[in-house]
Amino acid sequence: FGSSFSSAYSNTRSILHCCLTVAMPALVVLVGLLLHLGGACPAGYGKPVKGSPCMICPEGTWSAKGTELCKRCAAGTWSDERGRSSKESCIHCPAGTWSSQVGAISPEACQKCPAGYWSNRTGIGAIDKCTRCPAGTWSS
């Protein structure tokens, strides 16, 4: 009786160790997922829909630590990288350009001020922020 009990105990212990070794990483992932379903996401991540898991913020968006939603880059800015963690990480349109597009993902969203107008400011979010050239000057 003693040796068969010892053998059965040893086999059970081996099976249990094997199962825990394989299942533990999946359990850790599951617990992490459940925590993120109910709470805030880390910086650069957000929830597409309230109650959904955290996902990396797509291009043209950003999210600070502790927030739930990715926010779009403001007009006059753009970002072609995922997982941005601050509004400052959105890149300003260069001087002499503007963009009204919110959540832009490339510098092509930045348009030149129209002929006869200019700007020395970066990150302009509306065409009316371009300034008319002074009399006797021009801009193409």
Tens of pLDDT along 76-129? 999 999 999 999 999 999 999 999 999 999 999 999 999 999 999 999 999 999
Query: Is residue 28's pLDDT more than 50?
Result: no
In this structure, the dihedral spanned by the alpha carbons of residues 126, 133, 107 and 109, taken in order and rounded to 10 degrees, is 40
Confidence label for 33 from pLDDT (cuts 50, 70 and 90) = very low
Residue 90 to residue 62: CA distance in whole angstroms:
8
Query: Is residue 21's pLDDT more than 90?
Result: no
Q: Report whether 110 contacts 122 (CB < 8 A).
A: no
Residue 126 to residue 90: CA distance in whole angstroms:
17
- Would you give the DSSP letter of residue 100? -
Q: Report whether 133 contacts 140 (CB < 8 A).
A: no
